Amino acid sequence: MGVVLTGILVCVASYELGWFVTGNWALLGFFLCFLCVANVHNRLERRLRRLGTWIDIQESNLARLRVDWEGIPETTLRLSSEHPYAMDLDLFGKHSLFRLLDTTVSRDGQMLLVAWMTRQHPVAFNQWEIRQELVRALTPLRGLRDRSQLVAKSLSPNPINTDRLESLLESSESMAHLGPLLLAASALAGLNAALFVFWLLGGTGYWIVSFLLYALLLLFTGRRVSRVFGRALDLHLELDAVAAVLGIFEKRSFRRFPILQAMTVLWRNEDSRPSVAIRQLARVCSGLSLKAHPLLHIGLHVLVPWDLAWTWYLRNVCNRLRSVLPAWIMQLAIIDAAMALATFAYLNPSYAWPHRRTDGLVSGTGIAGTAIGHPLIVHQQRINNDLTLDGLGRVFLVTGSNMSGKSTFLRTIGINVCLAQAGGPVCAESWEWSWLRIHTCIRVGDVLEEGLSYFYVEVKRLKNLLVAMEDHREAPVLFLIDEIFKGTNNRERLLGSEAFIRELTAGRGLGLVTTHDLELANLEQELTTLTNIHFQETLGDKALQFDYQLRPGPCPTTNALRIMAMEGLPVPETHSGP
């Protein structure tokens, strides 16, 4: 603004004084100065926007480090309630593991991360080792991960979605006879120009005939071009984001990390670098998007077959990319999902890298961990416990008072198994396990739309668990059952729970069952694979205190009546005191 006002003042003053030559030179000088200042200003604004984006990335990482949900970007991703454990273990939702992990830049990477967290079928041992090795290699490369997020989010705040790109590649394959049509249209456009000039010089108006033929040809090809245009409109933004992210990996050598070097060698081909090829496709989409500006598009189309030329160029570019782009995108998704787990590992350096037991060893089936904690609980409030759960048919019967930590402990075990099987670190000092299929029965509620009660929903889920254990082709089942059969009366609950636990000890699975029925603890004397463990509380200053420490044996205390008395509810006099 200062340059503009000063320039106007100097020029007007020069003209008023009759210094026309000086005024003209001043006008030119201030105009060039304005262009330079505007260019610097625009560059500075772009840098400031990138800096703001980078600050947002670091602030969200700090929020993840502190488990501060207010500072972590929200996600709208949800999984079906039919999934055997996603809802019970808080894998998705407002306060969820996925929200804590999700630093992906692409939709494909996001979906792959979800698959790693929720996949039930066992992954081959060597494939899982490669995945974990990739995550470990990416963990110290903080600059690479942040830069990938920065370039992607600077172009668009939404994850890169390649679905439209793949549909564009498919649609371009069906565009036949474009070459002859473009040649005919170009010849007619040239003839139009020559005849029009001839008419301007006093000749006859034959250009009208050739122009009508030209217009009919464009009208004939317009529908085919419109289909391509619908897929290409604004697609260049997605392509620019893909090219920018891949360009980061093209320029770096990862010789210190052989696994990363092998994963990115596909992108460092000197003959066809992804960033160059994709930017070509982005330019084509930009050229086709001119159709979104009707007046300019019509004026240009009168002179040259603009749409046909760009569509022909698009087909050639797509033909070159069709065989390689899906592999590039898949490789990007794998590295993107691995970078999310690597960021989680970087922010939590005390977490342990899990060791997977060799497949096929039935005697080695289970979990052995020390100082296991829940990754969604704030570090300062987290209580860790040890657990060794080995062998098929092994059942830990967990008893304890209300609010003592039984349900949280079930989720702690389940969510760490998900992390281990995804290839990431676990919230523990040490962790060793064999591949397991998780089945849970923790959060159970009425299904009103199907007319199912709480108890019937619980029965169906427990039935599915038993059916899963009968499948010997799959991995053993890890079951996590909270307050078994609490939806029915005491007598039937006790009888049903005892029969069900006996079935669990004879099945192809292992896990934990919590209960308030202390009579079930007597099963330890009959069943060699059942072990009692418990949580308990202490009473101090008329308030219950919980240490959330796992202890052997059945729980020796109860607290339901004391909690009722503390809240002022009527209880028998013998239980109303401390």
Clarify whether residues 320 and 425 are in a common domain.
no
CB–CB of 370/428 below 8 Å?
Answer: yes
CA within 13 Å, CB half, 149: 22
- My answer on whether 383 and 296 are in the same domain is no
Q: Is residue 551 part of a domain?
A: yes
Residues 443 and 376 in one domain: yes
Give the tokens for residue 47.
């840098």
What's the chain's Rg over C-alpha atoms?
Answer: 34
pLDDT for the residue 310: 76
Half-sphere exposure of 44 (CA within 13 A, CB side): 6
| Model confidence pLDDT, tens digit, residues 419-478 | 999 999 999 999 999 999 999 998 876 444 454 567 788 888 899 999 999 988 889 999
| Residues lower than pLDDT 70 in the chain | 80-81, 168, 170-178, 222-234, 236, 270-272, 290-292, 297, 301, 359-363, 445-453, 539-544, 558-568, 571, 573-578
Residues 447 and 512 in one domain: yes
Instruction: For residue 564, give both structure tokens.
Output: 């009722």
Question: Does 380 lie in the same domain as 328?
Answer: no
Taking the C-alpha atoms of residue 146 and residue 54, their distance in angstroms, rounded to an integer, is 8
In the three-class reduction of DSSP (H, G, I as helix; E, B as strand; rest coil), residue 414 is classed as helix
* Residue 101 structure tokens: 């992990």
345 lies in a domain?
A: no
Domain boundary among 56, 81, 101: 56
Same structural domain, 510 and 411: yes
What is the structure's pLDDT at 567? 64
Does residue 303 lie in a domain region?
Answer: yes
Asked, for residue 65, whether it belongs to a domain, the answer is no
Domain end position, chosen among 283, 304, 339: 339
Kindly state whether residues 359 and 446 are assigned to the same domain: yes
**Where does a domain end: 20, 38, 56?**
56
Which run of H or of E encompasses 386? strand 385-390
Residues 265 and 325 in one domain: yes
Closest CA to 118 of 467, 440, 437: 437
The enclosing domain of 510 has a CATH number of 3.40.50.300
The verdict on residue 61 lying in a domain is no
Shared-domain flag, residues 290 and 321: yes
DSSP state of 435: -
Residues 366 and 232 in one domain: no
Structural domain including 292 reads 163-178+224-339
Domain assignment present for 517: yes
For residue 513, the surrounding DSSP H or E stretch is: strand 509-515
Query: What confidence tens digit (pLDDT) does each residue in 322-364 have?
Result: 778 888 889 999 999 999 999 999 999 999 999 998 755 555 7
Reduced to 3 states (helix: H, G, I; strand: E, B; else coil), residue 298 is helix
Same domain, 387 and 325: no
Its pTM stands at: 0.82
Q: Is residue 334 in some structural domain? A: yes
Residues 331 and 362 in one domain: no
Structural domain total, the chain: 3
Does residue 423 lie in a domain region?
yes
